[in-house]
Chain A
Amino acid sequence: MTSVQDPSLTVPTPPKGDRGGNVSIARNLGLVIALVILCVVAVASAGDRFASTDNVLTILRYSAVVGVVSIGMTFVITGGGIDLSVGAIVALASVWATTTGTQAMADNIGWIAMVFSAVLVGTACGAINGLLIAYGKIVPFIATLAMLASARGLAELIADRKTQIIRNQGFTDFFGAEPLGIPVIVIIFAVVVVAGWFLLNRTTFGRRTFAVGGNPEAARLAGIKVQRHTVYLYALLGMTCGIAAVMLMSRTTTGSSTHGTGLELDVIAAVVIGGTLLSGGRGTVIGTLFGVLILTTLSNVFTLNNLSTSTQAVAKGVIIVVAVLLQQRIANRKT
């Protein structure tokens, strides 16, 4: 009989910071400052080539694909997991949605069939990841590593390693449109960010995510169905991969097994830079948004200055390490 409360069984409440308290503002302020410094450097080196609306839209269009998946990844990492297979899922979703069969269906019932196909495939792959991790008790790293290999392999098989061109004019027209000068994919990105923020910070689903990530055993004892929730988280990430696949399909007018190469690196980097802890239990959608913007603005600055992508890759690595070190210092100071 225990009279002393076992500290490991205390159900963690989401840190006050993530409900809009001081910690969150301080952390996000750091990110805002980093982004501002980056913009200052950009303007100093490239002048009004950087500060023009066209360039901002270029950055946003590029960010949309990475950003949407990063929002999904925020949920998974906050819930204590990780997913290495996002790039492969995007490729598989894009291939599945552009096969002759799907495109024929789209000719009959509209291009929405291709969108459904991509999102469904993405969600299904995510759900498989979740099932393997939650019920199969396979470590997330390994389960998603397996999905990484098999999803891309399956994409190559289905596409017969060929690039599948989208023939449906309705699809290209819709996603290529720019109502009020803002590209449709950027609008979708904005909607996903807002929905993601709301889901994480204002719903029970979000609260359960923090609980599951912070202390899964305590969460289970508190009555949360941890395994089912884990499946939901990975399925959600899969869904965002499907959305990203649709965006990539519209940008390239093709589906291909080579889409999304290296996407997982950028996505995880963006989430980590944004302040979400890899150990789980703490997460921020706004932080992820800043993380994505910092990475894509960096890429843009490099392009504007004719610098090689190799130097950029080294810079990315350094930024990730610096961001995590700063986070740890801030986190230690506030507790």
Chain B
Amino acid sequence: MSTTHPRRRRAYAVAGAFAAATLVLGACTNSSGSDDDDTSAAVAKSNTDNDKSGDKVVIGFSAPAADHGWMGAITKAAVAQAGEYDDVELKVAEGTNDVNLQISQVETFINDKVDAIVLLPFDGAAMTSVARKAMDAGIVVVNVDREFDSPFAARTTVLGDNYGMGVSAGTYVCEDAAGATDKIVTEIAGIDSLPLTQDRSQGFEDALTSCGLEVSNRVAAEFTVESGEEAAGNLLQAAPKIDYLWNHDDDQGVGVLAAINNANRDEFTMIGGAGSADVMELIKSGDSVLKATVVYPSTQAADGVKLARLLVQDKALSDLAEIEVPRQLKLAAPVVTAENVDTYLPSAFRS
């Protein structure tokens, strides 16, 4: 038997309803408005015959969980690109970091007898055997970003230039240091178990060695904001004075910057990676430690979809003399500074 005064009970009910309404409104209205603009620039306007409608192509697409903006942009760009073609049906097996599940998603595509699979594996080596099974079943496999470890596992691979990213960042540091060899250079890497992270670090190290510098402190995060904040916090504690900081990825960079601001440190120059819109805006404004970033295109999967369509329809890549679609496409890694930021800002992804 309730002994609450009826008026108090009513007050609770009103408060409860108000709280519930706030929560529902909060969940249902999300800030997706601005995101849609970002992908329009990524969907290239082509003016060749290749874009004319051909045979129907069914493409299966699988990528890891979109736990950071770059990965989310990958999927969005791929879906938008497929939407531009009326002869492409895109089946999206949306993101997971569980290798076992991603393998079963690809197996489902094989069972469905899709024409092509565009795959950004969570781990290239782990997904190699199932990609090979798909190729053996006559399905065209396009590998994006994280490379398989067998040449038989994919027909075409679309990669960013990871080693080149490291070299670009290292070269920027060298040019800025202008001959000094006592600078303290630090590095915040991404997921260390991925070969692409190792390539980036190697490029950075090689470029620094050529001007007499080296990496004094290196930590690794996991491309997420939270891991970036944690790794940066540790790094700042370990190195009381830093001259240069290269952060591999601008998504984890949001966390890195938070840690830097919390620690009130600004004696160094920071370089980013991947090229998010937020970072580019900071570079443009000039009042942050961020002075440059290296672009790592988030349009790789969209390019993968385009190439998969060409391969299935037996078309050639336009503007090339060669009639076969290339085996590997390595996209360039330009350095963005305050001088050229306006060129790259429109196509940058949001974190």
Interface size on A, residues (CB 8 A): 38
Looking at the assembled complex, report how far the CB atom of A46 sits from the nearest CB atom of chain B, in whole angstroms: 9
**Distance of A91 Cα from B70 Cα, bound (Å):** 27
Q: Given A256-B126, A306-B92, A308-B94, check contact A251 B103 (CB 8 Å).
A: yes
Please determine whether B111 and A256 come into contact, CB atoms closer than 8 angstroms. no
Residue of A at shortest CB range from B100? A65
Please determine whether B127 and A257 come into contact, CB atoms closer than 8 angstroms. no
Number of A-B pairs whose CB atoms are under 8 Å?
95
Please determine whether B193 and A252 come into contact, CB atoms closer than 8 angstroms. no
Which residues does chain A contribute within 8 Å of B98, judged by CB atoms? 261-262
**Distance of A59 Cα from B107 Cα, bound (Å):** 10
Residue of A at shortest CB range from B99? A252
Residue of A at shortest CB range from B222? A258
For window 204-220 of B, CB contacts with A under 8 Å fall at 220
B182 at interface, CB cutoff 8 A: no
Which residues does chain A contribute within 8 Å of B107, judged by CB atoms? 58, 61
Please determine whether B100 and A257 come into contact, CB atoms closer than 8 angstroms. no
SS class, residues of chain A in contact with chain B: helix
Which residues does chain B contribute within 8 Å of A299, judged by CB atoms? 101, 104
Interface size on B, residues (CB 8 A): 33
Q: Could you say which of B96, B111, B130 contacts A309, with CB atoms under 8 Å apart?
A: B96
Q: Given A306-B92, A310-B94, check contact A161 B99 (CB 8 Å).
A: no
Which residues does chain B contribute within 8 Å of A61, judged by CB atoms? 104, 107
Q: Given A54-B111, A304-B108, A309-B95, check contact A163 B126 (CB 8 Å).
A: yes
Q: Could you say which of A59, A303, A309 contacts B65, with CB atoms under 8 Å apart?
A: A309
A210 at interface, CB cutoff 8 A: no
Residue of B at shortest CB range from A252? B126
Please determine whether A259 and B99 come into contact, CB atoms closer than 8 angstroms. yes
B123 at interface, CB cutoff 8 A: yes
Residue of A at shortest CB range from B111? A54
Residue of B at shortest CB range from A308? B94
Residue of A at shortest CB range from B220? A161
Looking at the assembled complex, report how far the CB atom of A177 sits from the nearest CB atom of chain B, in whole angstroms: 13
Q: Which of B103, B110, B122 has the most chain A CB within a 10 Å cutoff?
A: B103
Q: Could you say which of A161, A165, A309 contacts B125, with CB atoms under 8 Å apart?
A: A165
Q: Could you say which of B93, B97, B104, B125 contacts A254, with CB atoms under 8 Å apart?
A: B125
A285 at interface, CB cutoff 8 A: no
Please determine whether A161 and B193 come into contact, CB atoms closer than 8 angstroms. yes
Looking at the assembled complex, report how far the CB atom of B28 sits from the nearest CB atom of chain A, in whole angstroms: 14
B128 at interface, CB cutoff 8 A: yes
Contacts beyond the supplied A176-B129, A252-B99: 20 A-B pairs with Cβ under 8 Å: A52-B111, A66-B100, A156-B193, A159-B193, A163-B123, A165-B125, A253-B126, A254-B123, A256-B123, A256-B193, A257-B193, A258-B99, A261-B97, A262-B97, A262-B98, A303-B93, A303-B108, A306-B93, A308-B95, A309-B101
18 chain-A/chain-B pairs, Cβ below 8 angstroms: A58-B107, A58-B111, A59-B104, A61-B104, A61-B107, A62-B103, A62-B104, A161-B220, A162-B192, A163-B125, A251-B129, A252-B127, A253-B125, A253-B129, A256-B99, A256-B193, A303-B93, A306-B94
Q: Which residues of A contact B (CB under 8 A)?
A: 49, 52, 54-55, 58-59, 61-62, 65-66, 156, 159, 161-163, 165, 172, 176, 248, 251-254, 256-259, 261-262, 299-300, 303-304, 306-310
